[in-house]
Structure 1
Amino acid sequence: MPETTPDASGAAVPDPGLARLNRLSKEELRTELAQCLNVDRWVEALASEAPFADRETLLASADGHARAITSEEAATALARHPRIGEKAEGEDTESAWSRGEQSAFAADTDDASARVQRIFTFAQGEYEGRFGQIYLVCASGRTGRELLADLVDRLDNDTETELSVVGEELRKIAGLRLVKLLEAA
């Protein structure tokens, strides 16, 4: 199976990341995919579709499977995510990705940004008290002010709406991490 991806002109170019994933054993592939989204059903569904014909098909399938995340699956996946503002421990790929995704949150060290971070920490505690779980958001590239505004808005959600939002955020994170996985070749 040729592992290619169309470039901007539509011409097929080799896709080493896709080729690497397609060479993995099922168990190795499951391990790699679980770093993107720790939901067994999602991992198994994608692993069962390997080898992948092209990047677009893989990403579309991953997105489709992630749209069906249940509240129980979201709770399991949340257990592996650090709070916003806390650095993920460990030297594994997933921890490194998490640190990178949150890097904009703590990047600014001026007084105003420090105040935003303190207010965020307080609001995060309110969120955890209200919903009984950590606040999860696709933080990649978002500032502390943007994350604080999102967090405050989400405090008004009912539990069912919030679980739906968490599932959507997990889907976004999985998509970003799957691209990182493909680009790691």
Structure 2
Amino acid sequence: MTATPAAPGLTWLNSAPESDVRAALHAVCAASAWSGAVLAGRPYAAPAELIAASDSAMAELTAGDLDEAMAGHPPIGRPRPGDPASAREQRGMAGASEQLKEEMLELNLAYQERFGHVFLICATGLSGEQMRDAARERIANSPQKEREIVRAELTKINRIRLTGLADEAPHEP
């Protein structure tokens, strides 16, 4: 049996200069404590090790670290211009009706007023209606319960983004 060659992105992540890897990890998750922990775990023998390190780092984030991570995410329905990751992840809102987009905007504002941060959900594969329904349901949560849901959603987002990074090395500027 022959060994499977490492994914090009994982090879890059293991060998690129720390500053380049830190920048790529920041695009995955804006929490510096998370990227520092993932960076410190290099080299990774397999993508599963990278994902496990990410999950472990997410579990250790403080409330302030979670705030930093959430600050890196735009509101649902309003991906940042020029940010292909958030546009791809929020694709379910792209074809939404104007009524649904308006409702999502109102829910985003009410959620942010209640919790002090953006409504965060792993939107990959969800329809606009599913995101709206989740926002409606979650706005009734206690701040403590919502904080742990946000941690779980960030963990899912990081897994998806890290899998993409491990599969393909970042393009040089």
The structure number with the bigger radius of gyration is: 1
Which residue of 33, 43, 47 maps to 2:39? 47
Distance 2:44 2:57 in 1: 15
Gaps of 5+ in 2: none
Shift of 1:11: 6.1
Structure showing greater relative contact order (alpha-carbon pairs closer than 8 Å, 6 or more residues apart): 2
Q: Look up the match of 1:160.
A: 144
Residue deviations 1:130-162 (CA, integer Å, cap 9, x gap)? 112111111111101100110011011011111
1:135-146 map, 5 Å:
135-146=119-130
Instruction: Calculate the TM-score normalised by the size of structure 2.
Output: 0.89
1:53-72 map, 5 Å:
53-72=45-64
Q: Look up the match of 1:100.
A: 88
Q: Look up the match of 1:151.
A: 135
Give SS of 2:30's match: coil
Gaps of 5+ in 1: 1-9
Q: Look up the match of 1:172.
A: 156
Residue deviations 1:30-49 (CA, integer Å, cap 9, x gap)? 11111111111111111111
Q: Look up the match of 1:3.
A: none
Distance 2:134 2:3 in 1: 40
Q: Look up the match of 1:124.
A: 108
Provide the aligned length of Structure 1 versus Structure 2: 168
Give SS of 2:101's match: helix
Distance 2:15 2:106 in 1: 46
Aligned residues of 1:127 and 1:155 also touching (Cα < 8 A): yes
Residue deviations 1:70-120 (CA, integer Å, cap 9, x gap)? 221111122221111112134xxxx21111101121224xxxx33222222
Give SS of 1:13's match: coil
State the Cα RMSD in Å. Answer: 1.7
Instruction: Calculate the TM-score normalised by the size of structure 1.
Output: 0.84
Aligned residues of 1:70 and 1:167 also touching (Cα < 8 A): no
Which residue of 12, 24, 28 maps to 2:3? 12
The sequence identity of aligned pairs, in percent, is 30
Q: Look up the match of 2:26.
A: 34
Aligned residues of 2:10 and 2:165 also touching (Cα < 8 A): no
**Structure 1 stretches of 4+ moved >6 Å:** none
